[in-house]
Amino acid sequence: MNNIQKALENGQSIWLDSISRDMLWSGELQEFVDLGVTGVTSNPAIFDKALAESDIYDEALEEYAKDGANRQTVFERLAVDDIRDAADVLRPVYDNAGRRDGFVSIEVSPTLANDADGTITEARRLWEAIDRPNVMIKVPGTPAGVPAIKTLISEGINVNVTLLFSLSAYEAAANAYVEGLSEFAQASRGIPSTVASVASFFVSRVDTSVDNALPKGHELRGKIGIANAKLAYAKFGELFDRNLGGGGSFFPLHTTGAQVQRPLWASTGVKNPAYSDTMYVDGLMGPDTVNTVPEATMAAYSDHGNPGSDLTGGLDEARAQVNALAEEGISLDAITDDLLKAGVAAFADAYESLLGRIDEKLQSLGS
């Protein structure tokens, strides 16, 4: 088995943090699936990059704009086609995994990050337009995103909760999933096991911010991102009754065959060249998890990663490291709050860049 397949055997799904029409039409996505990749995630920056690097979208852009649609609608049509096609490639994975893997994620507009009603409306529209059971709608884990998560799950819409940095935000997202799924089950809207969700917990950005706040050579540099994720994984174990003790709110749903909301490790490309290029995969391997990786990290992990399980150990050390950071006068809560704000802003900027690129393309094509 290759490293991606070994990770799956250890309970972790490896998803690709990239999508493009080139990848779909050339068969490259199918090649990744054949290697063991079991999902794909997207965001405006990924689509922007795909548009910038290829003219494969030109004919479709002209077609999408024929009726005078605005640039937001043109992008949505483009994205819906790509996500639908990617979902079809991954459909055998979804079927073979009993509807617990094989997902493709698409994001609601980042401009709606603080608008619960707008998020719900757009998520419903995307879900209906794509019309595939193995799609997840990405909703940011902002205060406004939490009630949207609950509502969408209660309607049977799969959700990828994104931009989670803090333990409190992670817990709020997990509780929203449980509450929404409980409502779905109580209202007899369908079979609970058909609804799926992941909670995308960002890692490397935490290290970047913490490292900038620590003096050079400090022993905590490059440690807090994984420590923070390990604490989130421990909270996942408590919330989803992984030991089946029956004390948590998820236990009644577990008896129906409902899926847990898996933690998904995001932002796992290593930004500091002094660190191992696979540290955020090697250090976060464990059962009931997903790791979404960019292509460069995928290649590095395939070549020299370590697929052994490392999430279930070192919890006391992780707590000690986070406590030691506080003793240095650095507030992890303040850092994660800033990262959420910056993440929302960065996604919105990428979305605006994407729309600008669509304008440029259409103008150059004479549309």
**What residues are labeled active site?**
138
| CB 113, CB 348: distance < 8 Å | yes
Residue 254: other Cβ atoms inside 10 A:
17
Identify any residues that bridge with 12 across adjacent strands, giving them in sequence order: 289
Backbone angles phi, psi at 198, to 5 degrees: -130, 155
| CB 227, CB 253: distance < 8 Å | no
Q: Report how far residue 31's alpha carbon sits from residue 195's, in angstroms, rounded to the nearest whole number.
A: 27
HEC readout, the chain: CCHHHHHHHCCEEEEECCCCHHHHHHCHHHHHHHHCCCEECCCHHHHHHHHHHCCCCHHHHHHHHCCCCCHHHHHHHHHHHHHHHHHHHHHHHHHHCCCCCCEEEEECCHHHCCCHHHHHHHHHHHHHHHCCCCEEEEEECCCCHHHHHHHHHHCCCCEEEEEECCHHHHHHHHHHHHHHHHHHHHCCCCCHHHCCEEEEEECHHHHHHHHHHCCCCCCCCCCHHHHHHHHHHHHHHHHCCCCCCCCCCCHHHHCCCCCCCEEEEECCCCCCCCCCCCHHHHCCCCCCEEEEECHHHHHHHHHHCCCCCCCCCCHHHHHHHHHHHHHCCCCHHHHHHHHHHHHHHHHHHHHHHHHHHHHHHHHHCCC
Query: What is the sign, positive or negative, of the torsion defined by CA atoms of 331, 337, 339, 341?
Result: negative
